[in-house]
Amino acid sequence: MRYALSFVFIMFFTLLASTSHAAGIPASTNTLAPLLQKALPAIVNIKAQIKVTDIDTLKELQKQRKREGDSGNLPPNVVVSVASGVIVEAKNGYILTNAHVIEDAQSITVTLDDGRHYNAKLIGSDKPSDIALLQIKAKNLTAIPIGDSSKLKVGDFVAAIGNPFGLSQTVTSGIVSALERTSLGIEPYENFIQTDAPINPGNSGGALINMQGELVGINTAILAPSRGSIGIGFAIPANMAKSVMEQLINYGNVQRGALGIGAQDITPELASAFDLATTKGAVVTTVIPDFPAKQAGIQVGDVITKVNNMEIKNASDVVNTVGFLRVNSKVNINLLRHNKSITVSAELTDPKKRKQAVQAMDPFLYGVGLKNLSLLSPVHGKVLGVLVLSVEEDSNAWHADLHAGDIITSANQQTITNIEDLKTIAAKENRSLLLNVLRGPGAIFLVINKES
Q: Decide if 158 contacts 197 (C-beta within 8 A).
A: yes
Nearest to 47 by CA among 138, 89, 109, 95: 109
**CATH number of the domain enclosing 36:** 2.40.10.120
Q: What is the pLDDT of residue 171?
A: 85
Boundary (domain end) residue, out of 326, 351, 376: 351
Distance CA 224, CA 5 (A): 10
| Three state DSSP letters for the chain | CCCCCCCCCEEECCCCCCCCCCCCCCCCCCCCHHHHHHHHHHEEEEEEEEECCCHHHHHHHHHHHHHHCCCCCCCCCEEEEEEEEEEEECCCCEEEECHHHHCCEEEEEEECCCCCEEECEEEEEECCCCEEEEECCCCCCCCCCECCHHHCCCCCEEEEEECHHHCCCEEEEEEEEEEEECCCCCCCCCCEEEECCCCCCCCCCCEEEECCCCEEEEEEEEECCCCCCCCCEEEEEHHHHHHHHHHHHHHCCCCECECCEEEEECCHHHHHHCCCCCCCCEEEEEECCCCHHHHHCCCCCCEEEEECCEECCCHHHHHHHHCCCECCCEEEEEEEECCEEEEEEEECECHHHHHHHHHHHCCCCCCEEEEEEEEEECCCEEEEEEEEEEECCCCHHHHCCCCCCCEEEEECCEECCCHHHHHHHHHHCCCEEEEEEEECCEEEEEEEECCC
For the chain, residues with pLDDT lower than 70 are 1-29, 53-77, 166, 182-190, 223-230, 354-358, 452
> Does residue 344 sit in the same domain as residue 368?
no
Q: What is the pLDDT of residue 29?
A: 60
**What is the tally of structural domains in the chain?**
3
> Does residue 55 sit in the same domain as residue 80?
yes
What confidence tens digit (pLDDT) does each residue in 430-446 have?
A: 889 999 999 988 999 99
Distance CA 221, CA 101 (A): 12
> Does residue 127 sit in the same domain as residue 47?
yes
In this structure, is residue 256 part of a structural domain? no
Nearest to 87 by CA among 50, 125, 127, 139: 139
In this structure, is residue 357 part of a structural domain? no
**CATH number of the domain enclosing 384:** 2.30.42.10
In this structure, is residue 181 part of a structural domain? yes
- Kindly provide the b/e burial profile for residues 151-187, where b requires at least 16 CB atoms within 10 angstroms of the residue's own CB: ebeeebbbbbbbbbeeebbbbbbbbbbebebbeeebb
> Does residue 194 sit in the same domain as residue 51?
yes
> Does residue 37 sit in the same domain as residue 123?
yes
User: Measured on CA atoms in the order 370, 375, 379, 382, is the torsion positive or negative?
Assistant: positive
In this structure, is residue 356 part of a structural domain? no
Catalytic residues: 100, 130, 204
> Does residue 216 sit in the same domain as residue 71?
yes
In this structure, is residue 237 part of a structural domain? yes
Q: Decide if 16 contacts 172 (C-beta within 8 A).
A: yes
> Does residue 219 sit in the same domain as residue 311?
no
Q: What is the pLDDT of residue 189?
A: 64
In this structure, is residue 228 part of a structural domain? yes
> Does residue 190 sit in the same domain as residue 321?
no
Boundary (domain end) residue, out of 229, 251, 273: 251
Boundary (domain end) residue, out of 331, 351, 371: 351
> Does residue 66 sit in the same domain as residue 92?
yes
> Does residue 322 sit in the same domain as residue 394?
no
Percent of the chain with pLDDT over 70: 82
In this structure, is residue 10 part of a structural domain? yes
Structure pTM?
0.67
> Does residue 200 sit in the same domain as residue 307?
no
Distance CA 150, CA 146 (A): 12
Q: What is the pLDDT of residue 24?
A: 41
> Does residue 226 sit in the same domain as residue 293?
no
Q: Which domain holds residue 305?
A: 261-351
What confidence tens digit (pLDDT) does each residue in 190-201 have?
A: 678 888 877 777
